[in-house]
Amino acid sequence: MGCVPVQLPPPRWGFDPTAWPPDDAVAVGADLEPATLLAAYRSGLFPMPLDEVGPMVWWSPQSRGVLRPDRLRVSRSLRQATRRYETRVDTDFDRVLGACADRRRPGAWISMPMQRAYGRLHALGWAHSVETYDPAGGLVGGLYGVSIGGLFAGESMFHHARDASKVALVALVELLCDDAAARGARRLVDVQWQTPHLSSLGAEELDRTAYLAQLPDLVDAPLPATWRVD
């Protein structure tokens, strides 16, 4: 369940927020090397392609969707769902990634280069999955993202059974708050863009300036014990 993240050399590419346009898409190009991805997240960016063949596009939304762990809303029905499923961490990252990338999903955007890139980040100890299993042991939901200090940059989630992805999110938040000193402090889940679904779970919006101002303290915070091996 996790390994010591491998420290990486400086990236070839630099990300300068002072040069970004007043738009959600702020840069095009670069690469998906592990060092590039980590530098991007530390700078407030994430990659998302517009198509399979064009260059990579880097995004820093003007209104950033975030979930503060202490503000997660768990309804009675969702709490009941957490008792129906089992959750695990990093036991089947590749299957979670593959399910999130399934081209049959509406709005599917995770390309093969991105799958390979996040697979490398997982092998290096930076990307993680939270999986949801039904009573028969079937994988029915999950999420994956990148953990840097107190920031968990959520990339995607999926479900094949009712509430299965929400249960994974509840488990993630509980894991991020696993030590009392960190509960609600120096922990943040980046959900990229706000949606009605995420809003119902307690996500909110920060403007880009406010999000970027919080990043240095977040990424310098100690890793949650879930991802850390001492």
CA dist., res. 169 & res. 192, Å (int): 15
The DSSP code sequence of 163-176 is THHHHHHHHHHHHH
Q: What would the mean pLDDT of 207-221 be, rounded to a whole number?
A: 95
CA dist., res. 153 & res. 25, Å (int): 17
Total-model pTM: 0.93
> What pLDDT score does 108 carry?
78
CA dist., res. 217 & res. 126, Å (int): 18
CA dist., res. 209 & res. 187, Å (int): 18
Q: What digits encode the pLDDT tens for the residues 14-30?
A: 899 999 999 999 999 99
Name, in order, each residue with C-beta under 8 angstroms of 56's C-beta and a sequence gap of 6 or more.
28, 29, 30, 31, 32, 47, 49
Q: What would the mean pLDDT of 74-85 be, rounded to a whole number?
A: 96
Q: Which of 219, 215, 158 lies closest to 5, judged by CA?
A: 219
- By the 8 A CB rule, do 154 and 193 touch? no
* Domains, in order of start, for the chain: 17-61 (3.30.70.3550), 64-220 (3.40.630.70)
* 47 membership: H or E segment, kind and range: strand 46-47
Q: What digits encode the pLDDT tens for the residues 100-148?
A: 999 887 777 899 999 999 999 999 999 999 999 999 999 999 999 999 9
